A and B are shown apart, each in its own frame.
Chain A
Amino acid sequence: MFSWLHLYRMIPLLIAQIVLTLFVFFMLLNSAAVMVYFERKVAAMLQQRLGPYLVGPRGLLQPVADVIKLMFKEELRPRAADPLLFALAPIISAAAAFAAFAVVPFGAETTFFGLLSDPLRLQVADVNVAVLVIFAIASMSVYGIVLAGWSSNSKYSLLGSLRASAQMISYELSYGLALASVLVMANSLSLTDIVNRQAGVWFHVIPRWFLFVQPLGFLIYLTAGIAETNRAPFDFPEAEQELVAGYHTEYSSMSFAMFFLAEYINMVTVSAVATDLFLGGWHGPFLPESLGWIWFLLKVTAILFFYVWMRWTLPRYRYDQLMHFGWRVLLPLAVVNLLATAAGVLYFDL
């Protein structure tokens, strides 16, 4: 029951929770900045050039310069635009991007070397239907894009946002089915449970990651994830050659920065969820459980590198190829994968 004494004992945990929430928020902001630098450097590497190198040592301060530039630019709005929705769209995009990460666990329970009496989960909110929440919020972000395209009242924006919504809706199915096959394996919707199911090793060598029992599911998840976050080779919503800049053509300054931020944070979230679902989260050899977040960071970085690598390696598909691939290749594969997984769990007790 509720009592003041009880509340008093909760205070350290409450403060820790608030600090954790702020920590995740600022780390996500930071990760977007780091990703911009990382992406430009990797792109430069792949194209045999230098990339940013003038601002700060090795160009490390380039993201800071970019942010300052974006903040001091003029905020423009087309006269024909719908003022309310034009302002609301980037907020929805960014808010949805941040909200999704709230249910992603990124480390084992820790007391911070005995600082807290009760162990604290390294996760903003431990929801028992975490996967469902992520899926719901991921589909929320399409609202931001559609509203941005419609409210700008410009052809390019509208076409970009229509493409974005068609693409996100088509790929969300395969994305969800790839998730579902992991849920069947783990028999739980909680990401913490799913990660803990992947602790330990098979035959003393192979980690018990779902990647090794669900290789197809992992591939489908990654492909659909790239399409969900509108990244190359599926970046139709902002195809520069045909649509100027797609749904954010009319945006400038901070509202453009919000879309930019949302895109990078979505990438980080998709990678973090992939790590939790398929790569064993914070479980890994050589490190104690309390330092598991290092493994988590390494795995997320690896997937993000893959993202960037794909972007600078593959050319953009044609729009009909994208739809063909989504509906006639990826979706049947995902269905077959889910059915096979379900049969395996039912008959062979995987």
Chain B
Amino acid sequence: MTSETALFYLFGAMAVVASLLVIAQRNPIYSVLLLITSFGALSGLYVLL
């Protein structure tokens, strides 16, 4: 496995987990922060393109 694939799975997992946690929060502020985390992981994926 190359480092690029590893990073892809890392960012992918981060994006999916963060997005799931967005809808699992009671507190909207936490949802927003997790959404930002998810966007951050997505931007990591874009860098890998």
Shortest Cβ gap from B35 to chain A (Å): 12
Q: Tell me, in angstroms, the Cα distance from A55 to B33 when the chains sit together.
A: 44
- What residues on B are CB-neighbors of A85 within 8 Å? 29, 33
Q: Tell me, in angstroms, the Cα distance from A85 to B29 when the chains sit together.
A: 10
Q: Please report which residues of chain A, range 111-157, place their CB below 8 angstroms from some CB of chain B when the two chains form the complex.
A: 143, 147, 150
- The count of chain B contact residues (Cβ–Cβ below 8 Å) is 3
Dominant SS among interface residues on chain B: helix
- What residues on B are CB-neighbors of A143 within 8 Å? 36
- What residues on A are CB-neighbors of B33 within 8 Å? 85, 147
Shortest Cβ gap from B36 to chain A (Å): 8
Q: Please report which residues of chain A, range 59-107, place their CB below 8 angstroms from some CB of chain B when the two chains form the complex.
A: 82, 85
- What residues on A are CB-neighbors of B29 within 8 Å? 82, 85, 147, 150
- What residues on A are CB-neighbors of B36 within 8 Å? 143
Shortest Cβ gap from A88 to chain B (Å): 9
Shortest Cβ gap from A338 to chain B (Å): 26
Complex: chain B residue closest to A143, CB-CB: B36
Q: Please report which residues of chain B, range 1-49, place their CB below 8 angstroms from some CB of chain A when the two chains form the complex.
A: 29, 33, 36
Complex: chain B residue closest to A84, CB-CB: B30
The 7 closest A-B pairs by CB, nearest first: A150-B29, A85-B29, A143-B36, A85-B33, A82-B29, A147-B29, A147-B33
Which A residues are closer than 8 A to B by beta carbons?
Answer: 82, 85, 143, 147, 150
